[in-house]
Structure 1
Amino acid sequence: MANRTIPRLLQTPAVLLLLFWMIVPLAMTLFYSFIRYVLNSTNRPEWTTPSFSNWRGFGNYEFVLNSKDFLFAIKNSLFIVTSILTLTVVLGVLIAVLINRSFPGRGIVRVLLISACFFMPAVDAVLWINKLLGPVGGHLCGAVGGRYTLAASMQDAPLVGWFFNLWPVLEPISFRATQT
Protein backbone atom coordinates (compact mmCIF):
# COMPACT_ATOMS: atom_id res chain seq x y z
CA MET A 1 0.00 0.00 0.00
CA ALA A 2 2.79 2.42 0.90
CA ASN A 3 4.56 1.90 -2.41
CA ARG A 4 1.50 3.21 -4.30
CA THR A 5 1.07 6.39 -2.26
CA ILE A 6 3.82 8.48 -3.85
CA PRO A 7 2.82 7.76 -7.48
CA ARG A 8 -0.80 8.59 -6.66
CA LEU A 9 0.22 11.83 -4.98
CA LEU A 10 2.30 12.76 -8.01
CA GLN A 11 -0.60 12.01 -10.36
CA THR A 12 -3.15 13.96 -8.34
CA PRO A 13 -2.41 17.45 -9.77
CA ALA A 14 -2.65 16.17 -13.34
CA VAL A 15 -5.88 14.32 -12.63
CA LEU A 16 -7.39 17.37 -10.90
CA LEU A 17 -6.37 19.60 -13.81
CA LEU A 18 -7.94 17.17 -16.29
CA LEU A 19 -11.10 17.00 -14.19
CA PHE A 20 -11.25 20.80 -14.07
CA TRP A 21 -10.57 20.95 -17.82
CA MET A 22 -13.62 18.73 -18.45
CA ILE A 23 -16.00 20.02 -15.76
CA VAL A 24 -15.75 23.74 -16.58
CA PRO A 25 -16.97 23.47 -20.21
CA LEU A 26 -19.72 21.08 -19.09
CA ALA A 27 -20.86 23.46 -16.35
CA MET A 28 -20.76 26.43 -18.73
CA THR A 29 -22.80 24.50 -21.30
CA LEU A 30 -25.42 23.66 -18.69
CA PHE A 31 -25.50 27.25 -17.45
CA TYR A 32 -25.97 28.64 -20.97
CA SER A 33 -28.75 26.13 -21.64
CA PHE A 34 -30.82 27.63 -18.81
CA ILE A 35 -30.43 31.32 -19.70
CA ARG A 36 -31.54 33.52 -22.58
CA TYR A 37 -28.24 34.19 -24.31
CA VAL A 38 -27.90 35.63 -27.80
CA LEU A 39 -24.35 36.48 -28.78
CA ASN A 40 -25.14 39.30 -31.21
CA SER A 41 -28.59 40.59 -30.29
CA THR A 42 -28.98 44.21 -31.39
CA ASN A 43 -32.62 44.38 -30.27
CA ARG A 44 -31.96 43.27 -26.71
CA PRO A 45 -28.32 43.99 -25.75
CA GLU A 46 -28.90 42.64 -22.23
CA TRP A 47 -29.20 39.16 -23.76
CA THR A 48 -25.57 39.32 -24.85
CA THR A 49 -24.41 39.17 -21.23
CA PRO A 50 -24.57 35.75 -19.59
CA SER A 51 -26.13 36.40 -16.20
CA PHE A 52 -28.80 35.12 -13.85
CA SER A 53 -31.03 38.07 -14.80
CA ASN A 54 -31.56 36.31 -18.15
CA TRP A 55 -32.60 33.09 -16.44
CA ARG A 56 -35.19 31.07 -18.37
CA GLY A 57 -35.06 27.80 -16.47
CA PHE A 58 -36.44 25.01 -18.60
CA GLY A 59 -37.91 27.51 -21.09
CA ASN A 60 -35.18 26.83 -23.64
CA TYR A 61 -35.85 23.10 -23.41
CA GLU A 62 -39.61 23.64 -23.76
CA PHE A 63 -39.00 25.77 -26.84
CA VAL A 64 -36.88 23.05 -28.45
CA LEU A 65 -39.21 20.19 -27.52
CA ASN A 66 -42.30 22.03 -28.79
CA SER A 67 -40.66 23.06 -32.05
CA LYS A 68 -42.16 21.55 -35.20
CA ASP A 69 -38.67 20.79 -36.52
CA PHE A 70 -37.59 18.85 -33.42
CA LEU A 71 -38.68 15.41 -34.67
CA PHE A 72 -37.06 16.08 -38.05
CA ALA A 73 -33.83 17.07 -36.31
CA ILE A 74 -33.91 13.89 -34.20
CA LYS A 75 -34.37 11.75 -37.34
CA ASN A 76 -31.47 13.53 -39.05
CA SER A 77 -29.29 13.10 -35.97
CA LEU A 78 -30.06 9.38 -35.75
CA PHE A 79 -29.31 8.94 -39.46
CA ILE A 80 -26.00 10.76 -39.12
CA VAL A 81 -25.00 8.84 -35.98
CA THR A 82 -25.85 5.40 -37.38
CA SER A 83 -24.13 6.06 -40.71
CA ILE A 84 -21.01 7.45 -39.04
CA LEU A 85 -20.86 4.60 -36.52
CA THR A 86 -21.25 2.00 -39.26
CA LEU A 87 -18.58 3.65 -41.37
CA THR A 88 -16.28 4.02 -38.35
CA VAL A 89 -16.57 0.39 -37.29
CA VAL A 90 -16.06 -0.96 -40.82
CA LEU A 91 -13.10 1.33 -41.54
CA GLY A 92 -11.66 0.72 -38.07
CA VAL A 93 -11.65 -3.04 -38.54
CA LEU A 94 -10.13 -2.71 -42.02
CA ILE A 95 -7.40 -0.36 -40.79
CA ALA A 96 -6.67 -2.62 -37.79
CA VAL A 97 -6.23 -5.59 -40.11
CA LEU A 98 -4.01 -3.52 -42.41
CA ILE A 99 -1.82 -2.14 -39.61
CA ASN A 100 -1.13 -5.61 -38.21
CA ARG A 101 0.40 -6.68 -41.52
CA SER A 102 3.86 -5.75 -42.65
CA PHE A 103 4.08 -3.31 -45.58
CA PRO A 104 6.36 -0.44 -46.70
CA GLY A 105 5.50 2.82 -44.93
CA ARG A 106 3.85 1.11 -41.98
CA GLY A 107 5.49 3.51 -39.49
CA ILE A 108 4.25 6.58 -41.37
CA VAL A 109 0.72 5.19 -41.46
CA ARG A 110 0.84 4.56 -37.71
CA VAL A 111 1.97 8.15 -37.05
CA LEU A 112 -0.85 9.48 -39.24
CA LEU A 113 -3.38 7.37 -37.38
CA ILE A 114 -2.24 8.47 -33.91
CA SER A 115 -2.14 12.14 -34.97
CA ALA A 116 -5.95 12.21 -34.90
CA CYS A 117 -5.72 12.09 -31.09
CA PHE A 118 -4.16 15.55 -31.11
CA PHE A 119 -7.16 17.33 -32.64
CA MET A 120 -9.44 17.20 -29.58
CA PRO A 121 -7.12 19.23 -27.32
CA ALA A 122 -6.91 21.84 -30.07
CA VAL A 123 -10.69 22.08 -30.26
CA ASP A 124 -10.89 22.31 -26.48
CA ALA A 125 -8.31 25.11 -26.51
CA VAL A 126 -10.30 27.07 -29.09
CA LEU A 127 -13.44 26.76 -26.95
CA TRP A 128 -11.56 27.97 -23.87
CA ILE A 129 -10.09 30.90 -25.78
CA ASN A 130 -13.44 31.97 -27.21
CA LYS A 131 -15.53 31.57 -24.05
CA LEU A 132 -13.02 32.82 -21.51
CA LEU A 133 -10.81 35.20 -23.48
CA GLY A 134 -13.08 36.06 -26.41
CA PRO A 135 -13.28 39.76 -27.32
CA VAL A 136 -17.08 39.72 -27.77
CA GLY A 137 -18.51 37.58 -24.99
CA GLY A 138 -15.52 36.23 -23.11
CA HIS A 139 -15.56 36.32 -19.35
CA LEU A 140 -12.32 38.28 -19.13
CA CYS A 141 -13.79 40.83 -21.55
CA GLY A 142 -16.78 41.12 -19.23
CA ALA A 143 -14.49 41.66 -16.27
CA VAL A 144 -12.57 44.42 -18.02
CA GLY A 145 -15.77 46.03 -19.27
CA GLY A 146 -17.24 46.11 -15.78
CA ARG A 147 -20.06 43.61 -16.44
CA TYR A 148 -18.89 41.41 -13.58
CA THR A 149 -18.78 43.41 -10.39
CA LEU A 150 -16.39 41.11 -8.50
CA ALA A 151 -13.82 41.10 -11.29
CA ALA A 152 -14.37 44.79 -12.02
CA SER A 153 -13.62 45.62 -8.39
CA MET A 154 -10.29 43.81 -8.78
CA GLN A 155 -9.11 46.57 -11.15
CA ASP A 156 -8.27 48.67 -8.12
CA ALA A 157 -6.30 45.90 -6.40
CA PRO A 158 -2.56 46.67 -6.58
CA LEU A 159 -1.42 43.17 -7.54
CA VAL A 160 -4.17 42.37 -10.02
CA GLY A 161 -5.15 45.80 -11.29
CA TRP A 162 -2.12 46.16 -13.56
CA PHE A 163 -3.27 43.14 -15.57
CA PHE A 164 -6.81 44.44 -16.02
CA ASN A 165 -5.57 47.90 -16.96
CA LEU A 166 -3.11 46.43 -19.46
CA TRP A 167 -5.54 43.87 -20.88
CA PRO A 168 -7.16 46.15 -23.51
CA VAL A 169 -3.69 46.55 -25.00
CA LEU A 170 -2.70 42.87 -24.77
CA GLU A 171 -6.01 41.28 -25.75
CA PRO A 172 -5.94 42.16 -29.49
CA ILE A 173 -2.39 40.81 -29.67
CA SER A 174 -3.32 37.52 -27.99
CA PHE A 175 -6.50 37.24 -30.08
CA ARG A 176 -4.52 37.71 -33.30
CA ALA A 177 -2.01 35.12 -32.11
CA THR A 178 -4.79 32.56 -31.70
CA GLN A 179 -5.96 33.16 -35.27
CA THR A 180 -2.65 32.10 -36.82
Structure 2
Amino acid sequence: MNRFNKDFLDKLGDFNFDVLEKSKNSIYALSKDLKIIYFNPAWFKFADKNGFEKSAAHQTILGTSVLNSFGGIRLKLYFRNKYKKAIRTGKVWHHQYECSSKKKYRFFHQTAYPLPSKEGLLIVHTEMFKLPMDNMNRETFRAIEHRYFNAEGRILQCSNCRHTQRADNPEFWDWVPTWVKKLPANHKLTICPTCEHLYND
Protein backbone atom coordinates (compact mmCIF):
# COMPACT_ATOMS: atom_id res chain seq x y z
CA MET A 1 0.00 0.00 0.00
CA ASN A 2 1.31 3.46 -0.90
CA ARG A 3 1.97 5.67 2.10
CA PHE A 4 2.15 9.08 0.44
CA ASN A 5 1.07 10.93 -2.69
CA LYS A 6 3.70 11.80 -5.27
CA ASP A 7 3.48 15.53 -4.54
CA PHE A 8 3.56 15.15 -0.74
CA LEU A 9 7.30 15.77 -0.46
CA ASP A 10 6.91 19.07 -2.31
CA LYS A 11 4.40 20.27 0.31
CA LEU A 12 6.62 19.56 3.35
CA GLY A 13 8.68 22.72 3.36
CA ASP A 14 11.06 22.63 6.34
CA PHE A 15 9.57 19.45 7.83
CA ASN A 16 12.13 16.63 7.67
CA PHE A 17 10.72 13.56 5.92
CA ASP A 18 13.29 11.20 7.50
CA VAL A 19 12.30 12.37 10.99
CA LEU A 20 8.61 11.71 10.23
CA GLU A 21 9.44 8.26 8.91
CA LYS A 22 11.49 7.29 11.98
CA SER A 23 9.10 8.74 14.55
CA LYS A 24 7.42 6.37 17.02
CA ASN A 25 4.39 8.68 17.01
CA SER A 26 1.50 8.04 14.67
CA ILE A 27 1.66 10.74 11.97
CA TYR A 28 -0.39 11.49 8.88
CA ALA A 29 -0.78 14.49 6.58
CA LEU A 30 -3.84 16.10 5.04
CA SER A 31 -4.33 18.15 1.91
CA LYS A 32 -6.09 21.51 2.12
CA ASP A 33 -9.40 19.74 1.42
CA LEU A 34 -8.68 17.34 4.32
CA LYS A 35 -7.86 14.29 2.25
CA ILE A 36 -5.13 11.96 3.52
CA ILE A 37 -1.87 12.37 1.61
CA TYR A 38 0.63 10.61 3.92
CA PHE A 39 0.95 7.94 6.62
CA ASN A 40 4.17 7.23 8.49
CA PRO A 41 5.12 3.62 9.39
CA ALA A 42 4.15 4.18 13.04
CA TRP A 43 0.54 4.88 11.99
CA PHE A 44 0.27 1.37 10.55
CA LYS A 45 1.86 -0.17 13.65
CA PHE A 46 -0.65 1.63 15.85
CA ALA A 47 -3.54 0.56 13.62
CA ASP A 48 -2.38 -3.06 13.65
CA LYS A 49 -1.91 -3.14 17.44
CA ASN A 50 -5.39 -1.72 17.94
CA GLY A 51 -7.28 -4.04 15.65
CA PHE A 52 -7.87 -1.53 12.85
CA GLU A 53 -6.19 -3.67 10.23
CA LYS A 54 -9.39 -5.44 9.13
CA SER A 55 -11.74 -2.49 9.30
CA ALA A 56 -10.76 1.17 9.65
CA ALA A 57 -7.27 0.83 8.20
CA HIS A 58 -8.68 -0.49 4.94
CA GLN A 59 -11.18 2.38 4.72
CA THR A 60 -8.62 5.03 5.71
CA ILE A 61 -6.53 5.17 2.57
CA LEU A 62 -4.73 7.83 0.56
CA GLY A 63 -7.14 10.23 -1.09
CA THR A 64 -10.01 9.65 1.33
CA SER A 65 -11.32 12.33 3.66
CA VAL A 66 -9.92 12.14 7.19
CA LEU A 67 -13.43 12.99 8.40
CA ASN A 68 -14.49 9.44 7.51
CA SER A 69 -12.40 8.23 10.46
CA PHE A 70 -14.38 10.22 13.03
CA GLY A 71 -17.46 8.61 14.53
CA GLY A 72 -20.55 10.77 14.79
CA ILE A 73 -21.50 14.03 13.08
CA ARG A 74 -20.47 16.12 16.09
CA LEU A 75 -16.83 15.00 15.87
CA LYS A 76 -16.76 15.33 12.08
CA LEU A 77 -17.89 18.96 12.29
CA TYR A 78 -15.59 19.75 15.19
CA PHE A 79 -12.44 18.44 13.53
CA ARG A 80 -13.36 19.83 10.12
CA ASN A 81 -13.70 23.31 11.59
CA LYS A 82 -10.49 23.06 13.65
CA TYR A 83 -8.41 21.66 10.80
CA LYS A 84 -9.73 24.22 8.31
CA LYS A 85 -8.99 27.04 10.75
CA ALA A 86 -5.42 25.79 11.29
CA ILE A 87 -4.85 25.74 7.53
CA ARG A 88 -6.45 29.15 7.04
CA THR A 89 -4.60 30.90 9.89
CA GLY A 90 -1.30 28.99 9.73
CA LYS A 91 -1.47 28.47 13.49
CA VAL A 92 -0.60 25.16 15.18
CA TRP A 93 -3.62 23.52 16.86
CA HIS A 94 -3.46 21.21 19.91
CA HIS A 95 -6.06 18.74 21.15
CA GLN A 96 -5.98 16.17 23.98
CA TYR A 97 -8.23 13.14 23.99
CA GLU A 98 -8.84 9.74 25.52
CA CYS A 99 -8.46 6.68 23.29
CA SER A 100 -8.82 3.75 25.67
CA SER A 101 -8.94 0.12 24.76
CA LYS A 102 -10.76 -2.59 26.66
CA LYS A 103 -7.71 -3.23 28.86
CA LYS A 104 -5.78 0.05 28.88
CA TYR A 105 -6.60 3.66 29.72
CA ARG A 106 -4.78 5.82 27.16
CA PHE A 107 -4.54 9.57 26.82
CA PHE A 108 -3.16 11.28 23.70
CA HIS A 109 -2.11 14.71 22.50
CA GLN A 110 -2.79 15.63 18.88
CA THR A 111 -0.87 18.46 17.21
CA ALA A 112 -1.88 19.83 13.82
CA TYR A 113 1.01 21.62 12.09
CA PRO A 114 0.05 23.73 9.05
CA LEU A 115 2.02 22.94 5.91
CA PRO A 116 3.57 25.87 3.99
CA SER A 117 1.42 27.97 1.66
CA LYS A 118 -1.81 26.65 3.22
CA GLU A 119 -1.29 23.30 1.46
CA GLY A 120 -2.63 21.20 4.34
CA LEU A 121 -1.69 19.82 7.75
CA LEU A 122 0.74 17.42 9.39
CA ILE A 123 -1.04 15.61 12.24
CA VAL A 124 1.06 14.10 15.06
CA HIS A 125 -0.48 11.88 17.76
CA THR A 126 1.59 11.51 20.92
CA GLU A 127 0.67 9.03 23.65
CA MET A 128 0.90 10.98 26.91
CA PHE A 129 0.28 8.07 29.25
CA LYS A 130 -1.11 4.56 29.38
CA LEU A 131 -2.32 2.62 32.42
CA PRO A 132 -3.93 -0.78 32.96
CA MET A 133 -7.68 -0.30 33.12
CA ASP A 134 -7.83 -1.93 36.56
CA ASN A 135 -5.71 0.98 37.90
CA MET A 136 -8.39 3.48 36.95
CA ASN A 137 -11.05 2.46 39.49
CA ARG A 138 -13.42 2.44 36.54
CA GLU A 139 -16.40 0.28 37.38
CA THR A 140 -17.22 -2.07 34.55
CA PHE A 141 -20.66 -3.18 33.45
CA ARG A 142 -21.90 -6.14 31.44
CA ALA A 143 -23.44 -5.64 28.00
CA ILE A 144 -27.08 -6.10 29.08
CA GLU A 145 -29.41 -5.22 26.23
CA HIS A 146 -32.43 -4.07 28.23
CA ARG A 147 -30.25 -1.63 30.17
CA TYR A 148 -28.55 0.05 27.21
CA PHE A 149 -30.69 -0.38 24.08
CA ASN A 150 -33.02 2.60 23.76
CA ALA A 151 -36.52 2.78 22.29
CA GLU A 152 -35.03 2.95 18.79
CA GLY A 153 -33.13 -0.29 19.44
CA ARG A 154 -29.70 1.43 19.54
CA ILE A 155 -26.97 1.94 22.06
CA LEU A 156 -25.42 5.39 22.42
CA GLN A 157 -21.68 5.50 23.01
CA CYS A 158 -19.48 8.54 23.57
CA SER A 159 -17.01 8.99 20.69
CA ASN A 160 -14.39 10.36 23.07
CA CYS A 161 -14.39 8.32 26.31
CA ARG A 162 -16.29 5.26 24.95
CA HIS A 163 -18.81 5.17 27.82
CA THR A 164 -22.31 3.88 26.97
CA GLN A 165 -25.53 5.62 28.00
CA ARG A 166 -28.07 3.71 30.05
CA ALA A 167 -31.45 3.59 28.33
CA ASP A 168 -33.27 3.06 31.63
CA ASN A 169 -31.43 5.93 33.36
CA PRO A 170 -30.03 8.28 30.66
CA GLU A 171 -27.96 10.50 32.98
CA PHE A 172 -25.64 7.53 33.65
CA TRP A 173 -22.88 6.56 31.22
CA ASP A 174 -21.12 3.25 31.95
CA TRP A 175 -17.83 1.65 30.94
CA VAL A 176 -18.91 -1.51 29.10
CA PRO A 177 -15.71 -3.30 27.98
CA THR A 178 -17.54 -5.59 25.55
CA TRP A 179 -18.66 -2.60 23.50
CA VAL A 180 -15.31 -0.86 23.80
CA LYS A 181 -13.73 -3.84 22.09
CA LYS A 182 -16.49 -4.18 19.45
CA LEU A 183 -19.63 -2.10 19.03
CA PRO A 184 -22.83 -3.84 17.94
CA ALA A 185 -24.15 -2.96 14.51
CA ASN A 186 -27.03 -0.94 15.92
CA HIS A 187 -25.07 1.79 17.68
CA LYS A 188 -24.88 5.56 17.43
CA LEU A 189 -21.87 7.67 18.42
CA THR A 190 -22.38 10.90 20.33
CA ILE A 191 -20.67 12.99 23.03
CA CYS A 192 -21.44 12.37 26.70
CA PRO A 193 -21.97 15.28 29.13
CA THR A 194 -18.58 14.66 30.79
CA CYS A 195 -16.72 15.12 27.49
CA GLU A 196 -18.94 17.93 26.23
CA HIS A 197 -16.51 20.66 27.31
CA LEU A 198 -13.78 19.21 25.06
CA TYR A 199 -15.79 19.98 21.93
CA ASN A 200 -17.29 23.37 22.75
CA ASP A 201 -15.94 26.52 21.11
> What TM-score comes out, normalization by structure 1 length?
0.22
Please identify which structure carries the higher helix content. Answer: 1
Please identify which structure carries the higher strand content. Answer: 2
> What TM-score comes out, normalization by structure 2 length?
0.20
Relative contact order, higher structure (CA 8 A, sep 6+): 2
Q: Larger C-alpha radius of gyration, 1 or 2?
A: 1
